[in-house]
Amino acid sequence: MAYTQPRGRQKVCYYYDSDVGNYYYGQGHPMKPQRIRMTHNLLLNYGMYRKLEIYRPYRAEYHEMTKFHSDEYIRFLKSIRPDNVADYGKQMQRFNVGEDCPVFEGMYEFFQIATGGSIAGAVKLNRGHTDIAINWSGGLHHAKKSEASGFCYVNDIVLAILEMLKYHDRILYIDIDIHHGDGVEEAFYTTDRVFTVSFHKYGEYFPGTGDLRDSGAGKGKNYSLNFPMRDGMDDFTYERCFKPIIKKVMEHYRPSAIVLQCGADSLTGDRLGCFNLTLKGHGMCVEYMKSFGLPMLLLGGGGYTIRNVARCWTYETAVALHCHEDLSNELPYNDYFEYFAPDFKLHIEKNNMTNQNDNVYLERCMEKLTENLRSITHAPSVQMYERPEDSIDAEQITVPKNGVGDTQFKGNIDKLGGGQAYADNNTGDDDEFSEAEAKVL
């Protein structure tokens, strides 16, 4: 008991900007930043604000983004607007902005918020001021050095990991989004200081990478791990893959910090997904990673049936707080209550789709991955180096003025910024049930 209790009571910091739900990718686009506000509102109404330390993140600046991205790419993102796209035709093509990654109003600020939350969380963890940091606006794993991809423009994950590397010799990155975590894998493909693990649907599916045999290169050989999966993955099978693999990675690699990308498009019924996970199967990953008691950054990612994204990240915030078993399955009344019709329950049921991940296939994958893990150096060491300065002064990040942990806060935070932009843009025929959707990623 004495052993497990401290782990159950880890301190959790949570980053949220009330403006984030106002950004809008455009009509018919499946990526809806509003899901972050729905999550926030739901977890507040569950009373979790009493246990969380809530921060409004600072906005990440150009010079921070260019620690990974190229100068010309970030300069382009900063300059382009819906009213000047005509001047940027060539660059839009070059940086893959236009279709899946459209130009939208205020997009650079949106990236600043998402990135700021992840870097602020990283700094907070580095200082030892929290055990877990959460930024559901982050987790945009497809963005490349000089290219937008899969609704992601700025890779907040890579930037947060770079910040954490100032304090940690070895970091474990785990990605449970249904899509391959290609941008993060690529950034750290040739180093042994970041071990990347991605569980994803593979085979005629975006982004097309993440083959079982792709395991890193050079010094990073065998420090990238890919578990390709097929349609219909359910809770039971996912746990059978996730736990043994991660247990081995932890034993062999011995990281000192964890970054977990919790993309919710791996849930059952996702608009773009094809897995069959419930909140319990998805949240199991958070619960299991938390059990190691290491500093952990929890990030969002994909998730396109937005009522389920809000359910999932609310539940996972509760897992981080170790109060998920106390959450009522009856949703509390909240600003988005009607979205949760017809049952108004927290938990979702799996459907009857066939699980195409049969035993023979899974065992072949497990065998190959275990073999790779056996060949890595146990806990590779890092040469002494001078620690670079923190990106931001953690003490400068302040709690939002409208208060935390009191009832006044609960009523106010979502009214800030109003949701007016969303209301103005939303014509009503663009809900998540819409058939006319952008290219499926």
Show which residues are catalytic.
Answer: 142
Among 302, 307, 373, 432, binds Zn ion (CB under 5 A): 302
Q: Taking CB under 5 A as the rule, does residue 290 contact Zn ion?
A: no
Task: Give me the least distance between CB of 271 and Zn ion, in Å please.
Answer: 11
Stretch touching Zn ion by CB under 5 A, among 50-58, 65-73, 177-185, 350-358: 177-185
Pairing of strands 53-55, 132-135: unpaired
Among 19, 64, 147, 177, binds Zn ion (CB under 5 A): 177
Residue 31 or 258: the one with the smaller Cβ distance to Zn ion is: 31
Whether the Cβ atoms of residue 154 and residue 115 lie closer than 8 Å to each other: yes
- For residue 326, CA distances in Å to 48, 55, 318, 321 come to 11, 24, 9, 11
Residue 295 or 302: the one with the smaller Cβ distance to Zn ion is: 302
Partnered with residue 53 across adjacent β-strands are 13
| Closest C-alpha to 16, from 40, 32, 38 | 40
Whether the Cβ atoms of residue 54 and residue 42 lie closer than 8 Å to each other: no
Task: Give me the least distance between CB of 232 and Zn ion, in Å please.
Answer: 17
Stretch touching Zn ion by CB under 5 A, among 214-222, 242-250, 262-270, 417-425: 262-270
Question: What is the full DSSP assignment across 246-260?
Answer: HHHHHHHH--SEEEE
Residue 216 or 303: the one with the smaller Cβ distance to Zn ion is: 303
Return all residues near 23 (Cβ < 8 A) that are at least 6 apart.
33, 104, 105, 106, 107, 109, 110, 421
Q: Taking CB under 5 A as the rule, does residue 263 contact Zn ion?
A: yes
Task: Give me the least distance between CB of 142 and Zn ion, in Å please.
Answer: 8
Task: Give me the least distance between CB of 137 and Zn ion, in Å please.
Answer: 15
Whether the Cβ atoms of residue 340 and residue 331 lie closer than 8 Å to each other: yes
Stretch touching Zn ion by CB under 5 A, among 17-25, 86-94, 294-302, 395-403: 294-302
Stretch touching Zn ion by CB under 5 A, among 50-58, 211-219, 243-251, 259-267: 259-267
Task: Give me the least distance between CB of 205 and Zn ion, in Å please.
Answer: 10
Subset of residues 121 to 150 that bind Zn ion, contact rule: CB under 5 A: none
Q: Residue of minimal CB distance from Zn ion? A: 302
Task: Give me the least distance between CB of 178 and Zn ion, in Å please.
Answer: 5
Residue 187 or 267: the one with the smaller Cβ distance to Zn ion is: 267
Residue 152 or 245: the one with the smaller Cβ distance to Zn ion is: 152
Among 182, 265, 270, 316, binds Zn ion (CB under 5 A): 265
Buried b (16+ CB within 10 A) or exposed e, 351-363: eeeebebeeeebe
Per-residue binding string, Zn ion, 361-400, x by CB under 5 A, is: ----------------------------------------
How far, rounded to the nearest angstrom, does the alpha carbon of residue 171 sit from its chain's CA centroid?
A: 16
Task: Give me the least distance between CB of 363 and Zn ion, in Å please.
Answer: 26
Buried b (16+ CB within 10 A) or exposed e, 130-158: bbbbbbbbbbbbbbbeebbbbbbbbbbbb
Stretch touching Zn ion by CB under 5 A, among 107-115, 236-244, 249-257, 295-303: 295-303
Residue 40 or 179: the one with the smaller Cβ distance to Zn ion is: 179
| Closest C-alpha to 145, from 185, 173, 106, 117 | 185
Return all residues near 73 (Cβ < 8 A) that are at least 6 apart.
95, 145, 146, 147
Task: Give me the least distance between CB of 421 and Zn ion, in Å please.
Answer: 24
Q: Taking CB under 5 A as the rule, does residue 102 contact Zn ion?
A: no
Count the neighbouring beta carbons within 10 Å of the beta carbon of residue 9. Answer: 12
Residue 56 or 142: the one with the smaller Cβ distance to Zn ion is: 142
Question: What is the full DSSP assignment across 355-421?
Answer: ----HHHHHHHHHHHHHHHHTSPSS------PPPPPSS-GGG----TT-SSSHHHHHHGGGTTTTHH
Residue 19 or 100: the one with the smaller Cβ distance to Zn ion is: 100
Return all residues near 412 (Cβ < 8 A) that are at least 6 apart.
402, 403
Q: Return residues touching Zn ion (CB under 5 A).
A: 177, 179, 263, 265, 302
